Amino acid sequence: MKNNPPRVALFVTCLVDAMRPQVGFAALALLEQVNCTVDVPMGQTCCGQPALNSGDQDGTRQIARQNIELLAGYDHVVVPSGSCAATIIKDYPDLFESDPAWHAKAVNLAGRTHELLSYMNDVWGWRPKGVDCAETATYHDSCSGLRSLNVQAQPRQMLAAVTGLEMRPLEGANVCCGFGGTFCVKYPDISNAIVGEKAAAINATGADLLLGGDLGCLMNMAGKLHRDGSKVRAFHAAEILAGMGNGPAIGEPA
Amino acid sequence: MSAFQGRVSSALADATLKIAIDRTTNTARTKRAAAIGAWPEFAEARELGRDIKDHVIANLEYYLTQFEANAIKTGAKVHWARTGQEACEIVVGICKAANAKSVTRSKSMLGEEIGLPHALEAAGIERVETDLAEHIIQLAGEKPSHIIWPALHKTREQVGELFRANHTDPGALASVEQMVNSARRNLREKFMAADVGISGANFLIADTGGICTVTNEGNAELTTTPPRVHIVTVGIEKLVPSMTEAMTMLRLLVRSATGAELTQYTTFHTGPKRPGDLDGPEEFHIVLVDAGRTKMLAEGLAEMLRCLRCGACMNHCVVFRQIGGHAYGSTYPGPMGSVITPSQDGIEQFQDLPRACTLNGQCGEVCPVAIPLPKLIRGWRTKAWVQGYEPAISKTALLLWRFLALRPGLYQFASNIALRFMPIFARSGWIAKMPLAGGWTTYRDLPSPQGGTFLSQYKAKHRKAAK
């Protein structure tokens, strides 16, 4: 592939687009290190997951068709979120089960789409070089990436190559943080109880940093940690890997 | 606030409940993980279990007919009930024909589902629950909160108090062993005096016409053997073709439920007492209950009929572990209950159940017969949306968001306006309170956005680079 760099579309996700553009820039920096020709299609909005998980299948199909057309023609589509990548990879084909033409297109897109961290590791075998981060960190496995896409070892393997970064295991790292998309605002009491336990487990590691691969979950956990007065700071793992760990963490002013 | 949310609030405010839930579910998860870890063929067995159940469900009529014919050959009487009410009428009818004053019952979730405890009481028949946890529930006048541990919501301290108030000569109740002994003393004479014993069944064996029960206390054996009449109430989906398949299912069920390799008692009952048998009931009745199972099949919920009722999904559910079983307001709580209940009792009344789920997928991952629980739960959300049950506020918000998401230019414009206003509410990077964001900010701070959208920042940088 080195002789013929793939054309990669970065699908940043609606949350990164609005709430933390730095994750998008970190993704760009990583993709450039493996010599991808990266494009950021301007017609992107959201993968459609809020509609899908609310039961609005017709609405999701409209959004999916928009994305399938937008992302046609790229060799790879890379998404800095296990949850949004899983929607494209697993749910888009299911949505068009009774529509052969669109189903074929959805399957084609699914085959080209990758979650960012597993893409860097599995496709490129990439490791950070000369990235320093003298901190202790713990890692939360977001559920969709973990269960739908098997993202678990890859971020840890890459983070192990960051100079000075000490990883500490998180008790219940594979247990949901209580975000659940619209769940967290529809049932805030339950969500709070769940993320309260998660925050306690994070604090118990004694780590300086909380890392993960999905901004929604990270915002949920970081928001709870901050509300409860914890000093733990949160980053998307891509930010650390791209050497942006010395910048502001989630919620810190620039 | 919906009735569900009211129950959730009370549950979340109950610190003792949380202690009780954690004690049992934490142990259950740890023991299951050890049992599955020590079983290298689990993944294969799980696929086999799934295929066995799917095969039986696809050929339900064939196996039910075979089961009935073989059960009749053993001397059993087979009854068919389309609804829970019909099933209760059949059971009460058998009890009355036997002139029964007292009935012992071993734990059966199907019995709970069809309202059998209530039906027996309404008929003036004394009902004695013999499963230890069901005994606790009966003394407390409550309903089960878990399908394997019905009294999961009670701490041992609370059980001690309950026994002290209700048992004859409870003696010291400081340890679990003392409590068990007190229950044993109080239940033993009831076992021997009962006219009818009612049990459920974990499996119906089609080629023998027998049934299988698994328990850890031996109460099923004492319920089904001494009385003159044994009645089995069982859902029609519990069929397996033969003992071979029953063995596969048993391994999956028990490891997933309690983490043990086998239950203390695994009993196969085939027909009534035969001439020369030392014990056993004179009459053996099997009530085969549909109660919405064929409806589930017709509604696209065939995968749910694989369910072995092991409880692993709820033990691993982050929502169940916060709110417990009673908050669901249904016979079956947790993920499996969130799929079954809307089918049995209506999506309008139970629309919160499939919605109050993070779709994290752990339930589906631990299910011993690979039921795609998150997919089925999301399927109910789709039905609720199509039938217009999505609450007005969230529906309006979602439709507005969808309108924008389908218009990328407008979406960027609107996002950038919103992002410009949000920092007004922020203090050193965090928003503690903001209009329309109460669902988030009641319990969490919201990170203030980092300026404009990624797309607008990216575009600006590229323009600069191009110059």
**CATH number of the domain bearing residue B79:** 3.40.50.10420
The residue-averaged pLDDT of B364-372 equals 98
Tens of pLDDT along A92-109? 999 999 999 999 999 999
Report pLDDT for A115.
98
- Give the total number of structural domains in chain B: 2
Specify if B4 maps to a domain.
Answer: no
Q: Which two tokens stand for residue A31?
A: 């993709």
The residue-averaged pLDDT of B398-417 equals 97
B357 touches chain A (CB under 8 A): yes
Contact residues, B window 392-451, toward A, CB-based 8 Å cutoff: 394, 398-399, 401-402, 404-406, 408, 411, 415, 418-419, 428-430, 432, 438-440, 442-451
Query: Do both B274 and B410 map to the same domain?
Result: no
Q: H/E element holding A190?
A: helix A188-205
Q: Coil, helix or strand for B71?
A: helix
Q: Coil, helix or strand for A10?
A: strand
Report pLDDT for A3.
60
Q: H/E element holding B102?
A: strand B102-105
pLDDT at B245 over 60: yes
The residue-averaged pLDDT of A59-64 equals 98
The DSSP output letter for B167 is S
Domain membership of residue B444 as a residue range: 406-466
Report pLDDT for A18.
98
Query: Do both B283 and B415 map to the same domain?
Result: no
Contact present, B202 and B214 (Cβ < 8 Å): yes
For residue B27, the number of C-alpha atoms closer than 13 Å in the C-beta half-sphere is 9
Query: Do both B412 and B268 map to the same domain?
Result: no
Of B294, B317, B346, at which residue does a domain stop? B294
Q: What percent of chain A has pLDDT over 70?
A: 99
The residue-averaged pLDDT of B56-72 equals 98
Cβ <8 Å between A176 and B318:
yes
Of A164, A166, A147, whose CA–CA distance to A156 is shortest?
A166
Of B234, B266, B294, at which residue does a domain stop? B294
Specify if B383 maps to a domain.
Answer: no
Cβ <8 Å between A190 and B384:
no
Q: Coil, helix or strand for A37?
A: strand
Q: Coil, helix or strand for B109?
A: helix
pLDDT at B287 over 90: yes
Cβ <8 Å between A12 and B454:
yes
Specify if B64 maps to a domain.
Answer: yes
Tens of pLDDT along B298-331? 999 999 999 999 999 999 999 999 999 999 999 9
Query: Do both B66 and B188 map to the same domain?
Result: yes
Q: How far apart are CA A82 and CA A60, in angstroms?
A: 18
Specify if B417 maps to a domain.
Answer: yes
Of B294, B329, B358, at which residue does a domain stop? B294
Contact residues, A window 113-132, toward B, CB-based 8 Å cutoff: none
CA distance A18 to chain B (A): 5
Structure-token match 């393997």, residue found: A157
What is the rounded average pLDDT for all residues in chain B? Answer: 96
Nearest CA in chain B to A20: B450
The residue-averaged pLDDT of B14-18 equals 98
- Strand segments (E) across B397-437: 426-427, 430-431
Specify if B268 maps to a domain.
Answer: yes
Contact present, B210 and B10 (Cβ < 8 Å): no
Report pLDDT for B466.
73
Q: How far apart are CA B412 and CA B410, in angstroms?
A: 5
Specify if B200 maps to a domain.
Answer: yes
Tens of pLDDT along B128-177? 999 999 999 999 999 999 999 999 999 999 999 999 999 999 999 999 99
Structure-token match 């739908």, residue found: A148
Structure-token match 């059960």, residue found: B71
Report the largest interatomic distance among the alpha carbons of chain B, rounded to a whole angstrom: 101
pLDDT at A1 over 50: no
Specify if B388 maps to a domain.
Answer: no
Nearest CA in chain A to B457: A21
pLDDT at B186 over 80: yes
Tens of pLDDT along A42-60? 999 999 999 999 999 999 9
The residue-averaged pLDDT of B328-351 equals 97
Nearest CA in chain A to B359: A180
A24 touches chain B (CB under 8 A): yes
CA distance A228 to chain B (A): 8
Specify if B412 maps to a domain.
Answer: yes
